[in-house]
Chain A
Amino acid sequence: MIRKQGVSSQIKKGSAELAVLSVVAEAPLHGYEIAKRIREDTGGMVTFDVAALYPILYSMEKKGWVEGYWEESESGRRRRCYRLTTDGKKRLVPLRREWRDFFRGLNRLSRFSDA
C-alpha cells in the first residue's frame, strides 16, 4: 500500500498509476517484482502490498494500459507478467508531466513559505 499520510485518495491513485507504469515501462515484470522494484527504487518510501497492487494492476489492464500474460520462470513456476501497451505509453507521458509540474509547484510553494 502507498503510505503517505494526509495525501488524498486521488493523489494516491495517480501516484500509484505513475509508479506501476514507470516500473513496467522499463521491462515486463510480474506482480511481486513490480512491488519489489517500487519499494527499492523509492528507498522504501512507497510500498505496495497485495491488497493495493492487484486492484490497480487489474484496473490498468482493463483500461488497456498494461497487458498481462503468463510466463514460466527458471524454477518452473508460472507467473503472470505485465508489459506496457501502446495506450499505456501514451498515458505515461502526460502522467509524468503532470507529476513533475505538481512537484515543481509544491517546491516553489514550500520555498515561499519558508522565506
Chain B
Amino acid sequence: MPDFEQVVAERLAHLNLTPAQQREVIAEISAHLEEFYFSRVSAGSTDPAGETLTQVANWNRLRRKIQRAKKDRMRIARAVVLPGIGAVILAWIAFKLSVFFLVQPVPCQSELASPVYLVDVTLSPCMIVAANTPLYFAWLVTLPFAGALAAILARRAGARPAERVAAPLFLALALAIEAAVVSLPSGFFWRIPVYWVLVPAVLCTLGALPFLRGRENRDVGAHQVAARQT
C-alpha cells in the first residue's frame, strides 16, 4: 500500500493554512484515501492504488478549494482589530478617570510652559495634560492591563502569538493618529511620539507578553490529535 500520508503531504505541501490546520487536513484526507484503497482491494481491484489516486484529479485545484473553504475572512477582524479596540476603550476610560480624579484643566494660554502635552478636546476645549504630571504616570500604570486585555481577547479569538502582540499595539496606533492630528503642530516633534506613542506601546506589549503562549484556538484538541497521528 502506498504511504498515502506522504502522498497527500507532498501534494498539498503549499497549503496556505496554519501548520496545525495543514496537519489536520493531511491526516484526514490520507485516512480517506486509505479507506478507499482497502475498499478497492476488497472489491478485487487489480490496481487499487491507481484507482485511489484518481479520487483527486487535480491536486492544485483541491489545494485552492481547501484554502478557500478554510480561510476565515473575518479572522483578522476578530483576532486583532476587535481586541485592539477593546484595549483602546480600556485605556481611554482609564485616561478619563485619571483626568477626572487627578487633574484640573490648565488654561490654554499656558500650554507652551509644558514640555510635552496632549490636548484633550473632549472634556474641556482648553485642557492640557503634560507628560510629567501624576496623571501621565497613573495612566501609564493602566496600560499593561489594556495590553493584557487585548492579548486575552485575541487569544480567545484564535490569534497567533504575533497577532496577540499586534492587538495591543492598536492603542499605540490610535495615539499616533491623535498625536499627528492634534499635537504635532505644536512643534514638539520627538517628545510627543516618545512619551505618548512609544512608551504606551512598550507598556501595552509588556502586558500582552504573559498571554503569548497557550492555546491557539478552540479546535486545538483536534489539531493535537492530528499532530499525534502525523
- A residues adjacent to B (C-beta < 8 A): 30-32, 35, 49-51, 53-56, 58-59, 62, 68-70, 77-80
Q: Is the CB of B32 within 8 A of A31?
A: yes
Answer whether A50 and B35 are a contact pair too, CB < 8 Å, given A62-B72, A70-B225: no
- B residues adjacent to A (C-beta < 8 A): 24-25, 27-29, 31-36, 54-58, 61-62, 65-66, 68-70, 72, 219, 221-222, 225-226, 228-229
Pair count A-B, CB < 8 A:
72
**Residues of B close to A80: CB separation below 8 A:** 24, 27-28, 31, 222, 226
A50 to B36, CA, bound (A): 10
Chain B, residue nearest A48 (CB): B55
Q: Is the CB of B62 within 8 A of A32?
A: no
Q: Which 5 A-B residue pairs are closest in the complex by CB-CB distance? A: A58-B69, A55-B65, A70-B225, A59-B69, A32-B35
Give the interface SS of chain A, mostly helix, strand, loop or mixed: helix
**Residues of B close to A70: CB separation below 8 A:** 221-222, 225-226
Pairs A–B under 8 Å by Cβ, sample size 8: A30-B31, A55-B62, A55-B69, A56-B69, A58-B69, A68-B219, A70-B221, A80-B31
**Residues of B close to A31: CB separation below 8 A:** 28-29, 31-32
Tell me which of A49, A53, A80 has the highest count of chain B C-beta atoms within 10 A of its own C-beta: A80
In the complex, how many angstroms separate the beta carbon of A31 from the nearest chain B beta carbon? 5
Q: Is the CB of A49 within 8 A of B225?
A: no
